[in-house]
Structure 1
């Protein structure tokens, strides 16, 4: 049986689409296969679990630390920078008060 050029071209396109970054013919995606191989070699049986991500930090604690740093510097620039970054925060009012005392 002789193959027509169209049949050969379609077969070539199919092989190209099933390349290393796509699904192998009749198999799992390449990354799934690698992940399964990686998990099977680990000790402790953590297959299927996502890696642990640390909890997000409390934004108010970060603002309070920044306020304390600006207050320790005791400069007009540091307090103005804090007010510019956190103008709506209650600590910005304290920074404004300290800024007025520096002007005296």
Structure 2
């Protein structure tokens, strides 16, 4: 027996779920910076800088790192 495509009551084929909107990359980076800052460890800040070295927040992370060194 041949399987039919899934259909709703109207006889139309079921739609695939739509994709959610992509996140704003700047927001995601800012959230990652805040998480590293809250953690407050050299490792967390260095990881942020390694991942986002060209982002303006990397300068803030570098300054935070300098303050940890004191």
If the length of structure 1 is used for normalisation, what is the TM-score?
A: 0.57
Would the alpha carbon gap of residues 98 and 53 (structure 1) be closer, same or farther in structure 2, given more than 3 Å must change? Answer: same
State yes or no: 1:77 paired with 2:30.
no
Render the CA deviation track for 1:48-95: whole Å, top value 9, x for unaligned: 855311111111111111101100010111101100000000000000
Cα distance in structure 2, aligned partners of 1:67 and 1:44: 49
Q: Which runs of 4+ in 1 moved over 2 A?
A: 43-51
Gaps of 5+ in 2: none
Q: Which has the higher helix share?
A: 1
Q: Could you say which structure has the greater relative contact order, defined with CA pairs below 8 angstroms and 6 or more residues apart?
A: 2
Gaps of 5+ in 1: 1-32
* SS of residue paired to 2:32: helix
Cα distance in structure 2, aligned partners of 1:46 and 1:61: 39
- The structure having more radius of gyration, on CA atoms, is 1
User: What RMSD in Å do the two structures reach over aligned CA positions?
Assistant: 2.1
Cα distance in structure 1, aligned partners of 2:61 and 2:18: 38
